[in-house]
């Protein structure tokens, strides 16, 4: 992998997306900056820092062991990546759609805003 590939904003987003679907918590967290935040679109962040992101996803993966997301569309503008996803919590659950707006800094995910 080249340095240019590592600095592409899609690298971190693609990596965390694959790790999310594999429920690989360590790999998932490796794509986030230490001070990353998660929040609802136009809301204050509800999850601050890598430790809180790790705890949130550890609980999510435990509660929904068959959780998967399907990428419907991706838009990249500068250091912002917007994914339109369909999420399946379990094979029997009704899927839902979400837009995840990733802001990247230094090759890592610095912020994610969710539109549901």
pLDDT the model gives residue 59: 97
Specify the 3-state DSSP secondary structure of 99.
strand
The residues pairing with 45 across neighbouring beta strands, listed in sequence order, are 39
Cα–Cα dist 74/81, whole Å: 7
Cα–Cα dist 57/47, whole Å: 11
Sorted by sequence, the CB contacts under 8 Å of residue 97 that are 6+ apart come out as 72, 84, 85, 86, 87, 116
Which DSSP helix (H) or strand (E) runs through 10? Answer: helix 9-22
Q: In a structure prediction context, what are the per-residue pLDDT tens digits for the chain, which is 116 residues long?
A: 444 445 687 999 999 999 999 999 999 999 999 999 999 998 999 999 999 999 999 999 999 999 999 999 999 999 999 999 999 999 899 999 999 999 999 999 999 999 99
pLDDT the model gives residue 8: 82
pLDDT the model gives residue 7: 61
pLDDT the model gives residue 97: 98
Closest CA to 18 of 73, 85, 69: 69
């Amino acid at each position: 992998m080249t340095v240019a590939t590592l600095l592409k904003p899609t690298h971190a987003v693609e990596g965390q997306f694959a790790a999310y679907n594999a429920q690989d918590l360590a790999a998932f967290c490796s794509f986030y900056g230490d001070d990353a935040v998660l929040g609802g679109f136009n809301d204050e962040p509800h999850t601050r820092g890598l430790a809180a992101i790790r705890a949130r996803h550890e609980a999510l993966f435990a509660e929904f062991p068959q959780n998967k997301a399907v990428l419907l569309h991706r838009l990249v503008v500068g250091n912002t990546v917007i994914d339109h996803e369909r999420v399946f919590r379990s094979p029997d659950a009704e899927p839902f759609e979400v837009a995840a707006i990733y802001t990247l800094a230094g090759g890592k995910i610095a912020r994610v805003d969710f539109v549901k």
